[in-house]
Structures are given as structure tokens and as C-alpha cells.
Structure 1
Amino acid sequence: MTIQTPSPFDAPAQVAFHRTELALILGLYGRMVAAGEWRDYGISNLRDMAVFSIFRRTAENPLYRIEKNPRLRLRQGQYAVVGMDGQVLKRGNDLKSVLQVLERKLIRLIEK
């Protein structure tokens, strides 16, 4: 009988956002809620990706999805902001720079 020890290269059973990643996302989310643009969110921890969905109202499709897919880390980047229509608005390995696309929307809201 052989006992297999998990390799550090094995994929985790499910992907989740780390505390520091959630701090960045929830900071932006709080500012957009204060601006009256966003009202609800949902978090999905799936086998191959983690998704933070942002809603204007609870009963509708998400306005934006912030996705973490570690398998894309060495390609396009593991973080992506996806719009309501499925279009990737920004992708990269630095979550803070990927969230900039949504920060710009907040700045435009404040300027009006």
C-alpha cells in the first residue's frame, strides 16, 4: 500500500479569494455602494475558479464578475473583470491594477 502525499503543484479542491484579495475587492465594493451604484454581491468558490459577482439589484444578472483562475497565471493573468455581456474588460496578474477599470467608473460617478 502506498500513501500519496499531496504535491504543492496539485490543484486545490476549490479556488477561493485570499483575505488580502477580498480586502481590495470589498474596499471597492463599499465605495460603489456608498455612491449608490451597487447593491449586492455573491461569491462562488468553484473547483477551477473563484468568482465575485456584483449586482445592481438582487434579482438580476451580475453587472460585473471579478474572476480568479489560477490556471491562467502564466498566460493572460489569473484575475479578470468581466462585464454583463461576458466581455473581459481587464485581465492580469495584479488584482489592484485589474480593478482599476472599475475604479475609473467610480471616479466618473463622483465627478458628475
Structure 2
Amino acid sequence: MADQSDLPAGARAQDAAVVVSLSEYKRSLDPVPVTFHRRELDAILWIYGRMVGEGEWKDYAIDHLKDRAVFSIFKRSGEMPLFRVEKNPKLAGKQGAYSVISTNGMIIKRGHELQQVLKVFDKALKLID
């Protein structure tokens, strides 16, 4: 029995299944999440540090999702985020991949370049209750 092929009758060796790496298979099923690159995080954290120094912001969270990356900014860690800086590559060809979103979900600024979008924080933004 050891000299017999495991292929079905009439099948050739070229029709047999190909050995695939398990990591490649998992990557094809579960795509890599969208992340911020080092320079993008550097720009965001520079502004975050400045605002923490001014006493405006206290905490942050970073989420890497399948369709977008989100940097959430909090006044206190138990609250809703004051602002979210989002990177959505699907919108790169349209309105721009980067956006700053307020607590209520309103897009404050959107664009193709992160530096331009982050200029919205150069002005003194305050939440109105």
C-alpha cells in the first residue's frame, strides 16, 4: 500500500493540492489591520503632548481595526473621546484618508495629508456644552 498514490483514480500529480504556509493562509482569511505609521504617530503624539502640557487632554487610546486606525483623545479616561484622529485608506482617493472627528461624530477636518488635518488643533478648540 505504501507504493500507491493518495490521489483519486484518474488524477495527476499536477492536480494535487499545493502546500501553503499556515501564516499565509491566516493572513488571507484575516487581513492585516490598518495601522498608523511611525511618522504619523509622531505627528499625532507631538500635538497630544503639547495639549497635555496645556492641561487640555489627559488620556488617549489607539485602535487598529480592519478598515481604519483610530487615535482617540480623552479629557478623562472614563468619558467619550473629545476627538478622534482617523486613518481610513478606502477614502484616500476621494476626500482623503485622514480626518478629525468630534465627540458627536461630526467631521471637523478631512484631507490627504495628516499634517494639514492636524492643523485644526493649532486653533484653540473647546467643547461647547
TM range, smaller chain: 0.7 to 0.9
Q: Which runs of 5+ in 1 are unaligned?
A: 6-11
2:79 to 37, 53, 60: 60
**Which aligned pairs between 1:44-83 and structure 2 lie closer than 5 A?**
44-83=63-102
Rounded Cα–Cα distance in structure 2 between residues aligned with 1:105 and 1:77: 24
Rounded Cα–Cα distance in structure 2 between residues aligned with 1:105 and 1:46: 30
Look up the equivalent residue of 1:13 and give its one-letter code.
Answer: V
Write out the 4+ residue segments of structure 1 that deviate beyond 3 Å after TM superposition: none
Count residues in correspondence: 103
Look up the equivalent residue of 1:72 and give its one-letter code.
Answer: L
| Matching of residue 93 in structure 1 with residue 112 in structure 2 | yes
Shift of residue 104, structure 1, vs aligned partner: 1.3
Shift of residue 102, structure 1, vs aligned partner: 1.2
TM, length-normalised to structure 1: 0.84
For the residue of structure 1 that corresponds to 2:49, the secondary structure is: helix
Rounded Cα–Cα distance in structure 1 between residues aligned with 2:59 and 2:123: 20
For the residue of structure 1 that corresponds to 2:48, the secondary structure is: helix
Partner of 1:28: 47
Deviations 1:26-83 (A, max 9, x none): 0000000000000000000000000000000010000000000001000000000000
C-alpha RMSD of the superposition: 2.2
TM, length-normalised to structure 2: 0.73
Rounded Cα–Cα distance in structure 2 between residues aligned with 1:100 and 1:28: 9
Q: Which runs of 5+ in 2 are unaligned?
A: 1-16, 25-30
Q: Which has the larger radius of gyration?
A: 2
Rounded Cα–Cα distance in structure 1 between residues aligned with 2:68 and 2:122: 23
Where relative contact order (Cα < 8 A, 6+ residues apart) is larger, the structure is: 1
Shift of residue 105, structure 1, vs aligned partner: 1.9
Rounded Cα–Cα distance in structure 1 between residues aligned with 2:43 and 2:124: 16
Look up the equivalent residue of 2:84 and give its one-letter code.
Answer: R
Look up the equivalent residue of 1:24 and give its one-letter code.
Answer: A
